[in-house]
Chain A
Amino acid sequence: MSEQPPLPRPPHPYPGKLIIVEGIDGSGKSTQLLLLHKWLESKGHRVFFTEWNSSELVKDTTKRGKKNKSLTPTTFSLLHATDFASRLYHEILPPLKAGMIVLADRYMYTAFARDVVRGVSPEWVRKLYSFAITPDMAFYFKVPIEVAISRLLGGTRGQFKHYEAGMDMNLSPDVTESFRIFQSRILAQYEKIVDEFQLITMDATKDIEAQQNEMRHLVGEALKDYKPRRGTHGRRTVFWRRFDVPKSE
């Protein structure tokens, strides 16, 4: 694994804003994003939410592959990239072009951390996602592994999912131990990614409200110059209609 210079990724050219969260399972990132979503909507913003591995087509395939245990590190990685590509095209770009705020629960950095731990080349997976646009804000919820474990065991889920614990990797027959080893390796990858892509690190051991206040403050600052476009589309249509001369073929 060689250290590589950060890829030159220019900011996206769209009028909307893309805000993403990253972190291991049990870091609380989804809770924080949900609360941010509520706040942005209460401010009158148009918000679109999208989630990792959620496109129907790919989800079914992943499920099938997991069931037969036929997924390899490479097919696992490619399936997630397919899901991402499809969501980028159908879910992320249109609202950004329309000037909306898009919130993404996990982004390409999840692949850079998890797929590399599963065994694909770090260079390859970065090239795989080279078509992705750079988020306007990327938050990383940093949490010690023991805190994540106690949250997941004590919380609503009560147990670990097979793949989330990396049980397919034969790290340990004990699911909690497997989770600890697997997710610790992911944490180590995230540490590199934070520097490489300048993610905003959040202390995810703090109280939910404290984290949310900090997040809202940062997002509020970043949105200062953001002008939600409303109604312009309709006006422009009317404007152009006056000049619309029917073409004769």
Chain B
Amino acid sequence: MVDAQFFGDGLTYLNPSDLKGKLIAIEGTDGVGRSTHIEMLQEWLEVQGYGVLTTGWTRSNLMSKTIEMAKEGNILDRWSFSLLYATDFADRLEHEVIPALRSGFIVLADRYIYTALARDFVRSGNRQWARDVFGFALVPDLVCYLRIDVETLVLRVIETKGMNFWESGMDLRLGNDLYDSFKKYQSLLIEEFDKMAEEFHFEVIDARKSPDEIQDELRSKIQPLLTTNLRSPELPSDRLIHPAPST
């Protein structure tokens, strides 16, 4: 990310210009297979010799326990809800993502700030505040959005892990039961993701396709980033190895 940028008011105590790696975000609602695809991408990149760091939503050392506790209480207001996620995100950004990018790693982010923006918008009807809060986030080099329609999603989630309280947005009381609420909540999220896909230029990938097809498409979107990287003269040549042709 030679011209790394912050979304809004950035980290004033940090210079983003020396970040050599690439930041790739995989977005999409629950149940579209993000984590499986990220595992496969990591394998693919590592075989080619790239250093890879994966980072996931709510996985920070500082906040993962706190967020679990907050969710158990089910007492989150809209602001605390978004701020807890923002704190988790900031902790991972400053302690994992930025150091990795500085050392030339490829960072695969399982969800990025767009998840938080969509969730906050569905709860508040207002886009500005959450965008301001996440102003310190780095603009990724690439955002791949695994898009699915709510009908397919419902079937998939029921077949696999089932619906849970938060993925159903039960705090919003959108429906009478888990099923109704899940459907309404996820439809609203998808609608907002679709809008952001245009605004922020996501690469949209149809998540109803077979896992192999999705993986191929993801790789074809990522590949150009790797070749650009190889051509940039300011990068140390020992850092990167020639990628194998994508399968």
Q: Please give the residue numbers on chain A whose beta carbons come within 8 Å of chain B beta carbons, in ascending order.
A: 57-58, 60-61, 64-65, 68, 70-75, 78-79, 81-82, 85-86, 88-90, 119-121, 123-124, 127-128, 130-131
Contacts and interface: CB of A to CB of B under 8 A. Distances in A.
21 contacts: A57-B66, A57-B70, A68-B61, A70-B62, A72-B91, A73-B11, A74-B11, A74-B94, A75-B87, A75-B90, A78-B90, A81-B83, A82-B79, A82-B87, A85-B83, A86-B77, A120-B11, A121-B9, A124-B9, A124-B132, A127-B135
B53 to A, nearest CB: 18
B154 interface: no
A73 B79 CA distance: 20
B56 interface: no
A89 B136 CA distance: 25
Looking at chain A's contact residues, the main secondary structure is helix
A74 B129 contact: no
B83 A130 contact: no
A89 B11 CA distance: 28
A82 B90 CA distance: 13
A98 B136 CA distance: 37
A211 B86 CA distance: 40
Contact of A130 (B75, B84, B129, B136): B129
A143 B91 CA distance: 35
B133 interface: yes
A35 to B, nearest CB: 32
B72 to A, nearest CB: 10
Interface in B1-59: 8-13
Interface string B122-138: 00000001001101100
Nearest to A58: B66
Q: Which of A57, A64, A78 has the most CB of B within 10 A?
A: A78
B129 A60 contact: no
Interface string B83-106: 110110011001100000000000
Given A75-B62, A130-B129, A131-B79, A57 B69 contact: yes
A65 B13 contact: no
A124 B135 contact: yes
Contacts of B86: 78
B132 A130 contact: yes
Given A127-B135, A130-B129, A89 B62 contact: no
Given A70-B61, A71-B62, A86-B79, 19 more contacts: A57-B69, A58-B66, A61-B62, A61-B65, A74-B11, A75-B91, A75-B94, A78-B87, A78-B133, A81-B79, A82-B80, A85-B77, A85-B79, A86-B80, A89-B77, A124-B8, A127-B132, A128-B133, A131-B129
Contacts of B73: 57
Contacts of A130: 129, 132
Given A86-B80, A90-B75, A130-B132, A119 B12 contact: yes
B63 interface: yes
Contacts of A75: 62, 87, 90-91, 94
Which A-B residue pairs are the 10 nearest by beta carbons? A124-B9, A85-B79, A127-B132, A89-B77, A82-B83, A78-B87, A119-B13, A121-B9, A61-B66, A85-B80
Nearest to B81: A85
A65 B12 CA distance: 21
